[in-house]
Amino acid sequence: MQLVFFSILTLLLELSNLGNTIKVSYLDGVKAPVIFVPGDGGSQVEARLNKTDVPHYICSKYTKDFFSIWLNLELLVPLVIDCWVDNMKLIYDNETRTTSNSPGVETRIPYFGDSFPVEWLDPTKASAGAYFKDIGDALTALGYERNVSLRGAPYDFRKAPNENAEYFVNLKYLVEETYLINGKKPVVLLAHSMGAPMCLHFLQMMKQSWKDTYISAFITLAGAWGGSAKAVKVYAVGDDLGVYVLREKTLREMQITSPSLAWLLPSALFWKPNETLVITDSKNYSLSNLKDFFDEIDYSVAWEMRKDVEKYSLDFTAPGVEVHCLHGYGVSTVDKLAYKKGKFPDGYPTFIFGDGDGTVNARSLEGCLHWQSQQKQKVYHQKFPDIDHMAVLRDQRIVSYIIKVLDKL
């Protein structure tokens, strides 16, 4: 959120305990440079403060320099988390249809172009902050050079495409620069989770002649092509990031202010208009009456954000490049929310689960299959049993698949 954001701590902590060693065959030189495009929560964020109001006396009002705010595990502890929420949340302007940081908060996404801020979400390289790190290590073992043939394209994952116009301009320049400094070798875009539809929108913007010149292939890991029902759960009750000492209700205050969450709601291309997402004793909610759901949970701003970003989820034009679509399946994934009598909207729901990778529903993960008859370039699809949304970044079979693709380009 990726929804990656809403479960990333638990999943990243799992990474630190595995100690995987990925074994791959040696490539005879770098055949195609790679750019990592992260998902929701997959970019480092830095902040600088000059605030007049804070939620607690322990919260800083002023910092001279920028500091790491995501991923910074020291900020994600009880009490201090309230400071973090206040610094990370966004404020929506109904007139400009855009968001901004809380007053007195300045943020930036550091190290654009370098793979470091997407290989490691924690700049101290604490093991829990590993993200694209295993894939990066596998590629450098084959001769890839960080910041030359292995690049990174981080962005403000709180925002959707409508507020990331500058990012897409910078991504175009990064692709062209990477192409040139690697002897005019076309680039592979390697995206995870929300990074996949971000790249799709980027490729839809580009002329076919540009893509034919600069893009060799588009590899996606757990692409959230049609959003996820888990986004509805986040709006309803929040998500504790997998850290049980943190309160979902507290984190929800920040999470629901992100336009990217509205973008990751189930797409009308993948869910039927009247397909139930939330069950209550008096009324069920689906895409057809989503506005009513937001009104009931007392966050009508979400409906405005949804109107701003829905066009991006409804444009599923084929990317016009070779696609390799990889993801897991067979992991219980939130499909619906069900409230007991009299418990909506203030009570806690039970969850009805379906197939997916634990974060994204199967129908959304398989969205890339729609392009097989819509473009002349090949669309390859492979799914892996019992691999969750973050495990795609470390599973040896998937990394080996990536290496084989690069070897053939």
Q: Is 381 a catalytic residue?
A: no
What gap in Å lies between CA 305 and CA 242, rounded to an integer?
A: 26
- Residues 399/364, Cβ–Cβ less than 8 Å: no
Hey, is 236 helix, strand or coil? helix
Q: Is 357 a catalytic residue?
A: yes
The single residue of 86, 357, 388, 395 carrying the catalytic annotation is 357
Q: Which residues are 380's β-sheet partners?
A: 324
What gap in Å lies between CA 400 and CA 193, rounded to an integer?
A: 19
Q: Which residues are 202's β-sheet partners?
A: none
Q: Which residues are 99's β-sheet partners?
A: 92
Residue 95: Cβ within 10 Å count = 5
What gap in Å lies between CA 290 and CA 45, rounded to an integer?
A: 31
The single residue of 192, 201, 324, 389 carrying the catalytic annotation is 389
The single residue of 43, 68, 193, 286 carrying the catalytic annotation is 193
Strand order in the sheet with 333-338: 278-279, 333-338, 350-354
What lies within 8 Å, CB to CB, of 322 at 6+ separation is 216, 217, 218, 377, 378, 379, 380
Q: Which residues are 105's β-sheet partners?
A: 49
Site of tokens 């757990």: 222
| DSSP string covering 286-303 | -GGGHHHHHHHTT-THHH
Q: Which residues are catalytic?
A: 193, 357, 389
